[in-house]
Amino acid sequence: MSADTAGITVAVVAKECLPGKVKTRLTPALTPEGAARVAAASLADTLATVRALPAARRVLFFDGSSLPEGALDLDGTGGFDVVHQTSGGLDERLGALFDAVDGPTLLVGMDTPQFGRADVAPVFDDPSRDAWFGPAEDGGFWSLYLREPDGAYLRGVPMSREDTGAVQRARLTDAGFDVGTLGVLLDVDTVPDAERVAALVPDSRFAAALHAETVGSLR
């Protein structure tokens, strides 16, 4: 990775892992409590990866009323500034984040616990690029980097649709940005998704949590 990475902020978009509020598509195969534990493990793995990145600042962009260390396994949020999400749709909330940060910013979600340092190495190798885009298998995106963050590039992008990623990328290219592309990753939405991701990172907190909740059904 380039030594010229001192100015990059890495922000993790996350929500409080409460039963019935997170990973609801993992139920009824998992109980709401089990789904929340799996979500918490996914978030913990993501934060551990972000801690290891050569970032100037780490932000937990959080939707929730409290940060229970035991539930989220944040280790005291080690080095993360907690910024609470605003109200509104996801595009509005992400827009608010990109308005609030200063300097080059890399956004990642909490639903790709398999994401590792190598997946974002291109960003740190070439931070002078206008943007980096990380597409997700479901048509969305798991990461987004803007050298000059501006929420206007996210507001109005329809979220949670098969064309979300295409619309977001077009918003950037239409602005004349030189957009680099990161590898495609799978978001954990369903139990089959979770099983595929756990197989990729068998030693992760996420895989252990999923295994515990499915009573050893993973192969």
Is residue 2 situated within a structural domain?
Answer: no
- Asked whether residue 143 is domain-assigned, the answer is yes
Neighbours of 183 (CB within 10 A): 13
- Work out how many domains the chain is built from and give that number: 1
Query: C-alpha distances in angstroms, 62 versus 16, 77, 105, 136, 182?
Result: 7, 12, 16, 21, 24
Q: Quick one: pLDDT at residue 34?
A: 95
Residue 219 pLDDT > 80, yes or no?
no
Of 75-89, 166-180, 185-199, the poorest mean pLDDT is in 75-89
Q: How confident is the model at residue 136 (pLDDT cuts 50, 70, 90)?
A: very high
More confident: 1 or 211: 211
Would 52 be classed as within a structural domain? yes
What residues are paired with 57 via a beta bridge? 9
- Give the β-pairing of 131-135 and 80-84: unpaired
Per residue in 142-174, pLDDT (tens digit) is 999 999 999 999 999 999 899 999 999 999 999
Tens digit of pLDDT for each residue in 74-86?
A: 444 457 888 899 8
Q: Which of 197, 195, 201 is nearest to 213 (CA)?
A: 195
Range of the domain at 55: 9-213
Q: Which residues contact 86 (CB under 8 A, 6 or more apart)?
A: 92, 93, 96
130 DSSP 8-state letter: S
CATH number of the domain enclosing 72: 3.90.550.10
The one-character DSSP state at 136 is B
Taking the CB of residue 71, how many other CB atoms lie within 10 A of it? 17
Instruction: Tell me, yes or no, whether 101 lies in a domain.
Output: yes
Whole-angstrom distance, CA of residue 103 vs CA of residue 177: 16
Q: Does the pTM of the predicted model rise above 0.85? A: yes
Domain membership flag for residue 219? no
Does a structural domain hold residue 218? no
Whether residue 4 is contained in a domain is answered as: no
Is 167 inside any structural domain? yes
